[in-house]
Structure formats: structure tokens, C-alpha cells
Structure 1
Amino acid sequence: MNLKLKYLIFYLFTFSSIGAMAQAPVKNLDYYLKEAELNSPVLKDFNNQQRSAGIDSLIARATAKPQVTASSAGMYAPVIRGYGFDEVLTNGQALEALLNINYDLLNKKRINNQLESIKIQSDSIRYARQLSRFDLQRAIVDQYILAFSSQEQVDFNYGVVKLLQEEETLLKKLTRSNIYKQSEYLTFLVTLQQQQLMVKQAELQFKNDYATLNYLAGIADTTTVKLADPKLQAGLSSTVQSFFTRRFEIDSLKNINQKNAIDYNYKPKLGVYANGGYNSSFILQPYKNFGTSVGFTFSVPIYDGHQKKMQYSKLILASQTVSGYRDFFTRQQQQQLNLIRQQINQTDQLFSKINEQIMFSKGLIEVDSKLMHTGDLRVADFVIAINNYMAAQNLLRQTNINRLKLINQFNYWNR
């Protein structure tokens, strides 16, 4: 296969790839964020936990109602030739079949505290779900930025190859006309071949980054797509929002709820009960042993070795721990937001200088291209101009990636 045929094959491959990407459907960041949330088993797990907490609330309310149970017990203690249990104690045999009703008269506040505990648990699950959602969004956005950058790298490399291919055709003619030396043409040809390899490497990198994006979002898709510009904007708020500190509020509410539960455990308990059915030893007129009974139970704690005071002490320590973590986190979050905001501002200041460098590099390429047409430029100088332009473009792209990642971090913490 001669050199001309090789270039023809590469041209066909290159422009067919460009055409395929141009005709590919465009998908934006919102699409992947929605798919990731829809497919996430973790978020589905939290949704089920939320529903389960609602069922726990119904169960707690049900325990506040009268409890009805049916019970039955039978016993037979034979006495054989005078050997056996004392019939005075056992009555020889007994049968019991009762319907029991129990109701706690002083359980309203205790049940309300239990319902409050379930609500706090539900709030904790809701917070954990939202935190997991934010973490998933941050991961998706970071990967989308990488994939979009890889896509931009592919497009840029295609553009450089196209430029070099145009110059290669002209340079070949000038070399045949002895305006340029064969060695200069070969030097330019090596640069073109290196750029063609960079195109293939960029395509592989984009495929890997795009596959990782689909993996994180739970999407089984191998079709070619065009990623839209993410267009991220940093939030304008400069104050620490309440989302991340909400977990400390929930912990404080848990301590209050546990304190109330301790208090209710030391309050008097009063219950009533009633039963009816059959209860007989079969000794005397067993057919008359149908009946009923009512009664009450009452208890009040008097002394347990000061356990209540000890449990209070544990809750005080837990409250102090929560306060310490909250204060530390609030300071760290504010410092982190200030640092990220400063990095974004410093990054924004680089764009004007980089764009200026790109403009001069591109202008130099245009001038050098005209000089090459007349044979008044060394090929090595043109290659240097191309490399400088590529380096400036790569710097712009990398700076933009860093800026988008910083914005993603800022938006994550500034909630």
C-alpha cells in the first residue's frame, strides 16, 4: 500500500467520523442527571425507607388503641396409684379459653413521643437521600465535564489535521518544484502523522470518558452522541446555606426526643383490662365455669439507682458533641467556599491572556502559511507555530475544565 493510498484511507475515515459526530443526537447535562437519579438503586432504597417509616407511624398509632387477644391453655396432671402432683395445687386438670382486652390509659404522650421519633427518623432518611442525590449529581457533572472536554479535544485535533492536510498538499507541490527540500517536507510529514495519531488517541479517550459517564448514570448505550456545552454557573449566594447543617439539627432533635422518652419511662402507668371466656378445673360443675373479669394495673417508679440522672448525663455529652461538630463544619464550609470562589476568580483572569495568546498564535499560522506559499519560510518554523497554537488551545481547554470543576464544587457546598 503506497503513501497516497494510506492518506486517502485516513481522509475517508476522518471525515466519515466527523460526519457521524455531526449527525449524532445532542444530549445535555440535564439528561444524564435525570437518568442517573431515575436509575440509582440507592435513591430507590431511600424512597422505600421513607415509605417504611410511614408504616411505622401507622403501627405506633395502632398500639394506642385497645389490644384484643385470644388465649387458651390446658393442663392435665394424672395421679397414678397415689403418685403424682398434689391435686390441691394442680386440681388435676384445667382448661382456659379467654378473650382479653387491654388498654393503657396514660399512653397518649408516650405514643406522641414515639410518633415524633419516627418523624425525626423520616427527616434523617430524607436528608440522607438528598445528600446521596447531591453526591450523585456532583459525580455526574464531573464526568460530563471530562467527556465534554475529550469531545472538544477530538474536534480540535480534527481541525489541526485538516489544516495540516491542506498545507501538505501545497508543500508537496513546492517540494517537487525544488522550492523546499525533501528533508523539510519529511519533517512536515512527521508532524502530520503525529497529529493523526493524536486524533485516534483523542477518540479513544472520548469513548472511555463517555462510557464512564453512561456507567455512572446507569445507561446502557453505545451509540454515538454529541455532548452539549454544560454551561455551569456558580451560585450567587455568599452565605452558608442550611442543608448541610440540617443533619446537626436532626441530631439535636433526636437528643430532645430521647430525653422525653426517659421522662415518660419514669411517669406512672395505669392500664385497665377485661376478659371473658371459660376457665375450669373440671372438679365442680364445669359447665358453669363460664365467666368474665375486669381489673386494672398501676405502677410508679420509686428508685432505680439514679439511672435517670446517668442517662441525662449521656444526652448532655451527645449534645456537646453535636455542637462541636456543627461549629467546626460551619467554619470549614465557609473557608472552603471562600477558597473555591477565590480560585474561580483567579481562573477567570487567565482566559483573557490565554485567548490573546491563541489569537497571536493563529495569526502567526496565517502569516506563516502565506510565506510557505512563496517558499519564504522554513518548514520547522511553521511546525513550531502549529505546536504553539495547539499548546495554547490545550491550555484554554484545561483552564475551562478546571473552572467548570470548581463551579461544580462550589454549587455542591453552597446549598
Structure 2
Amino acid sequence: MKHLLYLFAFLTISSSCFGQTKTLDGYLQLALKNSPLIKDLNNQVLSAQIDSVRIRAGFKPQVALNAGGLYAPVINGYGYAPAITNEHALNGIVTVSKTFIGKDYLGSQFAAIGLSQDSLRNSIKLSEQDLRRTIIGQYITAYGSLQQQQFNQQVVNLLKGEEDLLKKLTRNNVYRQIDYLAFLVTLKGAQLQLSQSRLQYQTDYATLNYLSGIADTSVAEIAKPELVRKVIYDRSNSIFFKQYQLDSLRLANSRKLIDYSYRPKLSAYADGGYNSDLTSQYYKNLGASVGFSLTMPIYDGGQKKLAYKKLALEQETQQVYKAFYFNQYQQQLNQLNQQIDGYDRLIAEINEQFKYAESLIKVNTQLMQTGDLKIADLILAINSYLSIKNQLAQNVISRLQLINQLNYWSR
């Protein structure tokens, strides 16, 4: 039964021996490129840059042209009162105005926009991290289904190769008909598992394409995901805590903006042009004027203190959320590391058990060649071996999923 000996050699071969066409990095690049959310956030960053330029432009001298004309006829004593309308008027005036503002106030407004941009950039990183976790998780799931399909295919191919030999031994009365039928039932069961695993891989693969924004109904093999367990040393620069830092800066800047809003505001203007009621000497109504306005808050009913109080409440809430999130963050890391360590130990135990199962199969295969082994014992040994192999594959995939979860928090 040399084919059975080949079976257990093939079962230990990595799937990398098969032709692979798509990789995890390729899917990640496509998913990030196709994500409308990330594109939206990037456009919001560009929009905030435009707002910064608009604010600066708004404090430059503003030039406006105002023109108008009026004719209100009075016919047979009927019409608007001339004292109100002047009956006819014509004007065209160019006005130049300028609002004077301190550099600190302008800097605070720019700081508010800068903090908004930083928050958007951090949101982009968080969205990218969320998308990576989703794509990697589905990729691992699809790879596990592919491994199961390839494993079942190998089993079916090699059991079919043994069927003819066992049929010949049965005809020569080395084995009974019932032994052959029992082996045939095992083969049919393996074929059914192959069909199920092939359908599962097609489903998982299609889901992977869907999440990545890929419109493709074909099915191809994917390469083994190479995930490295990352160690988190510094949490102060983590994107998951960056938003709390930005919120603290935003609250401090908001307090400055409140202070500046209660400072005096000075504006100046100058205009020149033509403004006439078109009465006598209307050609002399060309002229110019200058002026200014000053606004100084004196009493606002206590609104400033209320605004300060709102900021204080918001800051207190932000600190509570930060403390709670930090505890959850630390607990999540500890739990994931413990689970990964547990899977490492479990996989080592399964590998040890796997060696014994493989040795038992080899001995049974040698006995079968001389007819000294019951087919039922061989089938039992094969099923036990396959069960251990499946456990090993499932635990490896579960471990990869946990590493994906741990690496999610590492950025």
C-alpha cells in the first residue's frame, strides 16, 4: 500500500507548493485604494486646507463695487413722495474695507483648522487600520478554507489510488467484501467533505473580493498569510490615543477663541465714486469717504463664564473616556497575548500527538500489505489522523486571527 505512505507525506507539505496567484499585500493595497471612506476623509483634509486659505483671505482688504439707480416718476401729482425717493438717483461706489485683528487670534483660528486636519488624518489611520483588520481576518478565513480544500483533495486522490488495489485484494480473498465496502464508505465521505470544502472556499473567497471592492467572480488560490506577532512598547504615540491628545488641544484652543471674541474689534473702510440725486449740478457729485467702526463688549449676561463651564465639562468627560479606554486597551492586549500563548502550547501538543498518529499509520500500512491488518483498524487510524490534522489546521488559523487582532492595536 505504497500510496497510503505517500498520503501522509503529502499531508505535511505546505500549501506553498501549489501555484499561488494572489497575496495578502495585494488585497490590502486594493482595499485601501478602493475604499470610499478613506477617499472621503482625504478630501475633507484638503477641504480644511482650503478653509485655512479662505480665513487668511478674509482678513485681507476687501474691495466691492456697489451700483444702483432709481427713477420714481410723479404724474399729475400721483407718485411716491419726492422727499423720500428724490424721484431719481444714481450711484456707483467702490469700497475698500479692512478688519484689524491680532496675530494671536488669527493663529488660534488656524490652530483650530490644523487640529481638525490632524483629527481627520488620525481618522484616516484608524479607518485604514479597521479595513486592514477586516481584510486580513477574511483572508485568513479564506486561506483556512483553501487549506481544508487542498487537504481533502489530497485525501480523495490518494484513497482513490488505493481503491483499485484493495478491490484486487478483495477478489483474491485477502480481504472480505465488507472490508472493501467500509473502505468505500470512507472514500465517499472524503469526497463529500471535498465538495463541502470547495464550496466553502468559493464563498469565503467571494467575500474577500467583496470586502476589497473587487468585482471578480473567478476563483484563484491565495498565498499563505505571513503575520508576525508585534510587541507594543509605546502607547503614547498610538493612533488610538491620538484623538484624546487632539481633543485636549482643541479644548485649550477653544478657550483662547472665547477670550479673543471678547476683545475690541476695529474695522476701517474707504470708498469713492459717484452718488447723486440727479438734481442741480449732478456732475459735481463725485466724491470719497473714510470711516471706521469699533466694537467693544461690555456685558454679555455671563455668557463667557457659561462657555468656560461647558468647556470644563467637556474636558472632564474626555478624561473619563480616556481612562476607561486605556483600561480596556490594556485588558485587550493582555487577553490576546494570553490566548496566543495558549494556542502556541496547544499547537505544540497537537504536533506531538500528530507524530504518534503518523507512526501508527505507517505500521498499519505495512501490515496491510501482507493482509495482517483489519481494514476497520486502518480506517479508524486514518480517521484519527485526519481529525488531528484538522485540529492542527483550525488552531493555526485561530492563532493567526488572534495575531491579526493583536496587531490591530499596535499602530
CA distance in 2, matches of 1:40, 1:215: 11
CA distance in 1, matches of 2:116, 2:357: 61
TM-score (norm 2): 0.92
C-alpha displacement of 1:309: 0.7
TM-score (norm 1): 0.91
C-alpha displacement of 1:175: 0.8
CA distance in 1, matches of 2:405, 2:185: 42
- Residue 227 (structure 1) aligns with: 222
Could you give the per-residue CA deviations for residues 305-347 of structure 1, whole angstroms, max 9, x where no partner exists?
1111111111111111111111110111011101101111111
- Residue 3 (structure 2) aligns with: none
- Residue 368 (structure 2) aligns with: 372
Q: In the alignment, which of 314, 318, 322 is matched to residue 314 of structure 2? A: 318
CA distance in 1, matches of 2:39, 2:234: 32
C-alpha displacement of 1:237: 2.3
CA distance in 2, matches of 1:208, 1:68: 64
State the Cα RMSD in Å. 1.8
Q: In the alignment, which of 397, 402, 409 is matched to residue 406 of structure 1? A: 402
2:185 is equivalent to residue 182 of structure 1: no
CA distance in 1, matches of 2:398, 2:233: 21
2:90 is equivalent to residue 95 of structure 1: yes
Secondary structure at 2:239 match in 1: coil
C-alpha displacement of 1:408: 0.5
Kept in 1: contact 2:125–2:239 (CA 8 A)? no
C-alpha displacement of 1:71: 0.7
- Residue 338 (structure 1) aligns with: 334
Q: In the alignment, which of 101, 118, 126 is matched to residue 106 of structure 1? A: 101
Distance 1:179 1:25, change over 3 A: closer
CA distance in 2, matches of 1:357, 1:163: 23
- Residue 53 (structure 1) aligns with: 48
CA distance in 2, matches of 1:24, 1:221: 19
Kept in 1: contact 2:97–2:270 (CA 8 A)? yes
Secondary structure at 1:226 match in 2: coil
- Residue 141 (structure 1) aligns with: 136
2:273 is equivalent to residue 290 of structure 1: no
Q: How does 1:224-373 map to 2 (within 5 A)?
A: 224-241=219-236, 242-373=238-369
C-alpha displacement of 1:238: 4.4
Kept in 2: contact 1:240–1:334 (CA 8 A)? no
5+ residue gaps, structure 2, are: 1-15
Distance 1:25 1:350, change over 3 A: closer
Distance 1:379 1:63, change over 3 A: same
Percentage identity across paired residues of the two chains: 48
Kept in 1: contact 2:235–2:241 (CA 8 A)? no
C-alpha displacement of 1:41: 1.6
CA distance in 1, matches of 2:142, 2:62: 62
**Greater Cα offset, 26-35 or 85-94:** 85-94
- Residue 167 (structure 1) aligns with: 162
C-alpha displacement of 1:145: 0.4
5+ residue gaps, structure 1, are: 1-20
Kept in 2: contact 1:235–1:414 (CA 8 A)? yes
**Greater Cα offset, 353-362 or 23-32:** 23-32
C-alpha displacement of 1:223: 4.4
Kept in 1: contact 2:59–2:100 (CA 8 A)? no
* Moved >6 Å (runs of 4+): none
- Residue 210 (structure 2) aligns with: 215
The one-letter amino acid of 1:351's match is: I
- Residue 9 (structure 2) aligns with: none
Secondary structure at 2:240 match in 1: coil
Q: In the alignment, which of 104, 116, 124 is matched to residue 121 of structure 1? A: 116
Kept in 2: contact 1:337–1:414 (CA 8 A)? no
Kept in 2: contact 1:354–1:396 (CA 8 A)? yes
Secondary structure at 1:352 match in 2: helix
